[in-house]
Structure 1
Amino acid sequence: MSSFVFFFVPTVIFLGMVLPLWLVLHYVSRWRSSKGLSAEDKQTLEAAMGEVERLESRLETLETILDAEQPDWQTRHSVD
């Protein structure tokens, strides 16, 4: 009986206190390490921002052309 208690008590303490704490701390540390963007995500985001800047420049050019050819195009085509 004493050998049973010798193995049973530490096992219960480990499963009841140490293991849950260990699992929580493990997954908290993994969550913190994966919190930021990966290198691939950063590269994709930079490429998308470059595309946005290119499209904004193109839109400004088109508006400049329309302003030169049709000065009142914005008032005629505005949504009321």
Structure 2
Amino acid sequence: MEDGLIAVMIVATLFIGLPWVILHYMTKWKTAATITTDDEVLLEELYNLAKRLDERMDTVERLVASDDPEFTPARRLIADQKKDNQQLRELEALMAEKKGTRA
């Protein structure tokens, strides 16, 4: 009787317990690797905010430069340089693609 109980527990562990544990953690791994819709919205808002702040910074630098001819703006990313904007273009393409699939 005792041997039969041990055999049933071993079989149950192998065919029920082990697959359950593996599938449970596989599901956890897959859900953790994705970005949520709220995260996408937050990233888009932050991206738009950064673009607006960059435009404001350009305006401030232009105003200061008109008042002081010796003013030289700090080195930062410039909107018309290809090497600075490659990642931004890729991000904008992804955002446009995402909006196109949602519509």
Mark yes or no: TM-score above 0.5.
yes
Structure 2 residues not aligned, in runs of 5+? 75-103
Aligned residues: 73
Distance in 2 separating the partners of 1:69 and 1:20: 73
Matches within 5 A, 1:18-33: 18=15, 19-33=17-31
3-state SS of 2:10 partner: helix
Moved over 2 A (4+): 4-8
Structure number with greater CO (CA < 8 Å, separation at least 6) is: 1
Q: Which residue of 2 aligns with 1:35?
A: 33
Query: What TM-score comes out, normalization by structure 1 length?
Result: 0.72
Pair member with larger Rg:
1
Name structure 1 gaps, 5 residues minimum. Answer: none
Cα distance between partner residues in 2 of 1:13 and 1:55: 63
- Residue 67 of structure 1: aligned partner: 65
Backbone CA RMSD of aligned residues? 2.2
CA distance in 2 between partners of 1:44 and 1:66 (Å): 33
C-alpha deviation, 1:5, in angstroms: 3.1
Task: In structure 1, give the amino acid aligned to 2:4.
Answer: F
Identity %: 21
CA deviation digits over 1:20-77, x for unaligned, max 9? 33212221122113311111111111111111111000001111111211121228x9
1:46 is aligned to: 44
